[in-house]
Amino acid sequence: MRSAYDQGVEEKRSKFLHRHMGQPAAVRDSIELDRVKLPRECVRLKVAEAVAKWQQLDGGQKPEPRPLAGGTPNGTYHGERDEDDLEDQETLASQQSQQSQQQRTGPIRDFSVAMPRLSSQEVDLRLLPQQVKAALDFLVAMNPVQVVPDAMSDSMPVLLPPQQEAHRGRRTLVLDLDETLVHCHGQPTELKGASPCPDIFLELDSGNPLMPMVLRANLYVRPFSRRFLRFAAKHFEVVVFTASASIYADRVLDYLDPGRDLVAHRLYREGCTEIAGGHFKDLRRLGRPLKDVVLVDNSPLAPGLAPDNGLLVTSWYGDDQKDVELLPLMFTCFRMLREKSWPEYLAQRYGFRDFLEELRANAAARATRVATQASMVRMQMIWSSTGAVTQVRR
């Protein structure tokens, strides 16, 4: 039997497509929550379903209302609670007590907000998405912190100006763009499973005067991206840091944030630190205390220069219109307002740096074993050759 949410989605989506098929993006932009205005009871059910996994990892205790640290210079949070501030927390807390007794089974096959601490459960490296495996292989083969130590990072230009008066005392939430908030798919190939109506159609100049051409693509916005941005803008200094070019990123961000009142700063590919072809987002260069900075990204490579400040989410490729990854992310960010040091909290909650160190130690041990075995084979060949010569001479 389908859930109330699924029934609501199908009914509302059918009406939406029938009514707005072929309409410009501005019409569809007015429709929120998975591009369909769902009944509130359906939204509540979906929120509870999305956050249940995250909650069961956090002890199963109902949060008590109390002042939250990190909202103002004196450490007291005075924000209002409205729809975007998780008005459903009481419902979620009751769901938490029901789900906290359930144990996750099976190995971790992808990184997500809801995953347990990486040392507490097996990670099946063979089943991880190819992009994640490639990023981990890069980080294991070369520790970027050793390539760009703190002293070298401190000598590089600061990427952000001082905080604006409106954001004074707020902590800094850095967001990736592609595969975290949106997905861009080149035309004319069809994206299987995607919405039949892309959010916007992009036409971008290649920028090459020798080979002028227009690049066309469809852009899909991840479900709940706008709601998450509205929530984040009320509590944090929001920075979008992308490895994409500004000519593309600005078009996307102007669509997501047309009033430019949600995203305080935009950083592009040129702000990344390139190491052996990999683009790292060096949070040490933001000009903000690291204890008050977190990077939300779908790639493990991006936070490699400050792994304790990374919060990894599942990649979104536009083909899952029921994706809810940003809801537990919203819940996590809301909870992090209480924490004095974000790196300490994330290190305890996910242990990404410890996970990388364990992978490097295992790789070094394997390399040592291989080298030892190769040395033994060479010695055996030498001994065998020496013995044969001796016998001939005798």
* Catalytic residue set: 176, 178
Distance between CA 209 and CA 197 in Å, rounded? 32
- 191, burial (CB in 10 Å: exposed 0-12, middle 13-18, buried 19+): middle
3-class DSSP state of 239: strand
Candidates 100, 10, 83, 2; CA nearest to 47 is: 83
Of 12, 17, 19, 29, nearest to 200 by C-alpha is: 29
**Collapsing DSSP states into helix, strand and coil, what is residue 300?**
coil
* Sign of the four-CA dihedral 360, 366, 372, 377: negative
Lookup: tokens for 82: 């409205």
38: nearest Cα among 70, 23, 20, 16: 16
Residues 6+ apart with CB under 8 A from 249: 177, 240, 242, 266, 268
| Contacts (Cβ under 8 Å, ≥6 apart) of 207 | 247
Locus of tokens 């078009």: 251
Written as six digits, the tokens of 55 are 């909650």
363 in Cβ contact with 314 (< 8 Å): no
* Residue 283, CA distances (Å) to 135, 172, 206, 294 in order: 18, 10, 30, 8
What is d(CA 116, CA 385) in angstroms, rounded to the nearest whole number? 55
Helix 352-393 to helix 342-349 angle, to the nearest 10 degrees? 60
Number of residues assigned to the chain: 394
For residues 63 and 75, give the distance between their C-alpha atoms in angstroms, rounded to a whole number: 19
